[in-house]
Amino acid sequence: MVRENLVPNKGKKPVIVMKFGGTSVGGADRMKSVAEIVADHAQRMEVVVVVSAMGGVTDMLIRAANEASQGDRENWKNVRRELAHRHREVADQLLKAAEQATVLPRLADAVTDFENLCSGFSLVREVTPRAMDTLSSLGEVMSAELIAAILRSRGTPAEAVDATEVIVTDDHFGNATPIFDETNTKARQRLAGLRRRGVIPVITGFRGATRSGACTTLGRGGSDYSGTIVGAALDADEVWIWTDVDGVMTTDPRLVPEARILPEISYREAIELSFFGAKVLHPKTIQPVMKKEIPVWIKNSFNPSCPGTCIVPSATNSQKGVKAITSVSKADLITLTGKEWLSFPQLAAKAFDSLSLDDISTLMVTQSSADNVLCFAVHDADLRRVMARLEKTFELEMLHDDRVTIEVMPHVAIVVAISENMKGTPGISGRAFGALGKRGINIIAIAQGSSELSISFAVRAADVKDAVRAIHEEFKLKESVAKSQEAVEGKLQSR
Ligand code: ADP
Ligand code: ASP
Ligand code: MG
C-alpha cells in the first residue's frame, strides 16, 4: 500500500537507491532474489544499487588480517580458500558462461589482493588502519561484481562500480567521514554515463577513498551509510535499505519475540535508536538525507511484499509515551570522584577533553551527587582506551592523595526508551521505573535529556533482556503498533 504512494511524480521515473545488506546477499539463492527485486523495480523506477559483502565475509577478512599481523602464516590461507569458494559457488550457480569469463578474473584479482596484503602483514607483523580498510572492504568488491553479473545474466544491464570512485572521505581510516560536496560531484560524474545508458550501477558499500585515492571504510555496518550518501548525492526520491527483518521494530526481535514493526518513525527517533545499538541501521545513516528530507525505507529482502518502515523527517505519532526500546548490552560504568581541589566542571572538562582525543562517545552521563562525582557509560570495546586516557589525564591528581579516584563497574547494559512523543508527557520514567522494580531489576543510573527524546537506564548486563521486555510490556508496544499503522494510513489518504 504505502510505498508507491510516497514516490513523488515528477513526470520521470523516480530515482531509488537500494542498499542490500550481508544476509540479503549471503549466498546464491539470496543473490538471485536480490536480482529479481532489482529487475522487477527497475521497470518502474531508476534503481541504483549499493551492496554489502556476503554475510560473515567482513568478519572473516578482519580476523585473517589480525592473525596475519601476529605472525600467523597459515590461517589466512584457509580464509583465502573460503573467500574464493563462497564467491565462486555463486558464479557457478547463477552466471552464464560469458559472464563467468568476465567476472571470475575480477574475483580472482580480489583474492590475490587479499593474499598479497595478508602475506605482507605476516612478514612485517603489523596491519595499519589504512591497509586494513583496503583489505576489509574486499568483500564488497566481490559481491558488487557478482550482483552486477547476475543482473546482466538475466538481461538487465548493470555494472559494478567501486565506491572509491564515488565517495570522497577524510583520512580517518576505519571510520571515515564523507566530504559531501566533493562526493556529490564525483558520484554524479561517475554514474552519469551509466544512468544515461540505462545501466544499473551496483556500488560497493562500506568503502570510499580519500582525495588522493587511498581506500577508506565508513565503520562497521557502514553500507547503510553508503546508501544514503549516494542517495543524497543523486538527489534520489527515496533510499530503500533491504535487510532481513520486516522493518524497524519496537525492539530487537532477538531480545523480545513480541516486538512489532513500526510503520513509520522520525529521523530523530531513528538516529536515537541506531546510536543506542539498534543494529538495523548504522548510526550515521540518516545524516546525509536530513537536509534534503529524503525518506528512507527499511524493507525485508526475504519478504519483499511487506511495505516495511518509512523513516521520515517527522512521524505520525498516534500514542503518547514510549515508541521503541533499544539497548547496548556490553557497556561499563565509570565513576570519577574528585576531591575539593577539583570543581565538578573542571573534572568533567578534563575527563571529556581526554576522551575526545580518541573520538570516544559516551552512552550516558550523570552527575550523581553534590560531591564531585561524574558517572558515565562507555561501550565495553572502548574501555581499554578510555582507562588509558583517564589514567594519563589524572595521573598527578591520583598520585596526590587520591584527589581523583576512578572506579569501573563492568558488565553493565544501557536500556533506552525512545519516542518524540514523550515530551511533556508526565509519568513515563515513573512507569518505566515501576516496571523494572516489579521484576526486581535494580537501576544503577538513569539519564534523560531535556529534549525528552529518550530515557536511558543503566542495569546489570545480566538483566538486559528482562529490562527491555518489562518496558516493552509496560508501554504495550505490541498492541500500540496497530494504532500507529492506522494513523499512517490516515495520513497517506489525506495527501
Ligand atoms: P544487514 O546485514 O542487512 O545490514 P544487520 O544485521 O546489520 O542487517 O541489521 C539487521 C538486524 O538488526 C536484524 O536482523 C535484527 O536482529 C537487528 N535489530 C536490532 N534492533 C532492531 C530493531 N529495533 N528493529 C529491527 N531489527 C533490529
Ligand atoms: N560489510 C561491512 C560490515 O560487515 C559493511 C556492512 O555490512 O554494512 O561491517
Ligand atoms: Mg547492517
Per-residue model confidence (pLDDT) at position 486:
59
| Ordered DSSP codes for 310-364 | EEESS----SSS--EEEEEEEEEEEEEEE-TTS-HHHHHHHHHHHHHHTTPPEEE
In which residue are the cell numbers 574528585 written? 338
> How far away, in angstroms, is 280 Cα from ligand 1 center?
3
> How far away, in angstroms, is 206 Cα from ligand 2 center?
6
> Which of the pair, 481 or 166, is modelled with greater confidence?
166
> How far away, in angstroms, is 198 Cα from ligand 2 center?
28
Residue 252 has pLDDT above 90, yes or no: yes
Per-residue model confidence (pLDDT) at position 398:
82
Residue 1 has pLDDT above 50, yes or no: no
Atom of ligand 2 nearest to the CA of 53: 1
Does the Cβ of 58 fall within 6 Å of ligand 2? Answer: yes
**What are 46-85's pLDDT values in tens digits?**
999 999 999 999 999 999 999 999 998 889 999 999 999 9
Q: What are the CA-CA distances from residue 460 to residues 60, 407, 454, 472 (Å)? A: 31, 16, 19, 18
**What are 26-35's pLDDT values in tens digits?**
999 999 999 9
CB 70 within 8 A of CB 39: no
Atom of ligand 1 nearest to the CA of 247: 25
Mean pLDDT, residues 156-180: 97
Does the Cβ of 456 fall within 6 Å of ligand 2? Answer: no
Q: Which three cell numbers stand for residue 153?
A: 545474466
Question: How high does pLDDT run on average in the chain?
Answer: 92
Per-residue model confidence (pLDDT) at position 131:
98
Phi-psi region of 58 (alpha: psi -120 to 50; beta: other; left: phi over 0): alpha
CB 243 within 8 A of CB 201: no
> How far away, in angstroms, is 52 Cα from ligand 1 center?
14
**Candidate of 52, 248, 252, 469 to mutate for ligand 1, largest count of ligand atoms within 8 Å of Cβ:** 252
Mean pLDDT, residues 180-205: 98
Per-residue model confidence (pLDDT) at position 495:
43
Residue 107 has pLDDT above 80, yes or no: yes
Residue 422 has pLDDT above 90, yes or no: no
Mean pLDDT, residues 190-208: 98
Atom of ligand 1 nearest to the CA of 282: 7
Q: Which ligand is nearest to the CA of 205?
A: 2
Distance, in Å, from the CA atom of 355 to the CA atom of 413, rounded to the nearest integer, reads 20
Mean pLDDT, residues 183-196: 98
Mean pLDDT, residues 115-131: 96
Beta bridge partners of 202: 49, 160
> How far away, in angstroms, is 340 Cα from ligand 2 center?
47
> Which of the pair, 227 or 3, is modelled with greater confidence?
227
Per-residue model confidence (pLDDT) at position 301:
98
Does the Cβ of 222 fall within 6 Å of ligand 2? Answer: yes
Per-residue model confidence (pLDDT) at position 480:
77
Per-residue model confidence (pLDDT) at position 238:
98
Could you tell me the domains of the chain? 15-244 (3.40.1160.10), 324-480 (3.30.2130.10)
Q: Which ligand is nearest to the CA of 57?
A: 2
Residue 5 has pLDDT above 50, yes or no: no
Per-residue model confidence (pLDDT) at position 2:
36
Mean pLDDT, residues 421-434: 84
> Which of the pair, 21 or 482, is modelled with greater confidence?
21
Does the Cβ of 485 fall within 6 Å of ligand 1? Answer: no
**What are 295-343's pLDDT values in tens digits?**
999 999 999 999 999 999 998 766 678 999 999 999 999 999 987 777 8
Per-residue model confidence (pLDDT) at position 376:
96
Does the Cβ of 459 fall within 6 Å of ligand 1? Answer: no
**What are 350-402's pLDDT values in tens digits?**
999 999 998 899 999 998 766 789 999 999 999 999 999 999 999 988 887 77
Helix (H) or strand (E) holding 54: none
Looking at this protein, which amino acid is placed at residue 164? T
> How far away, in angstroms, is 419 Cα from ligand 2 center?
28
Strands 324-338 and 404-418, sheet pairing? antiparallel
Q: Which residues contact 221 (CB under 8 A, 6 or more apart)?
A: 279, 282
Residue 7 has pLDDT above 60, yes or no: no
Mean pLDDT, residues 114-136: 97
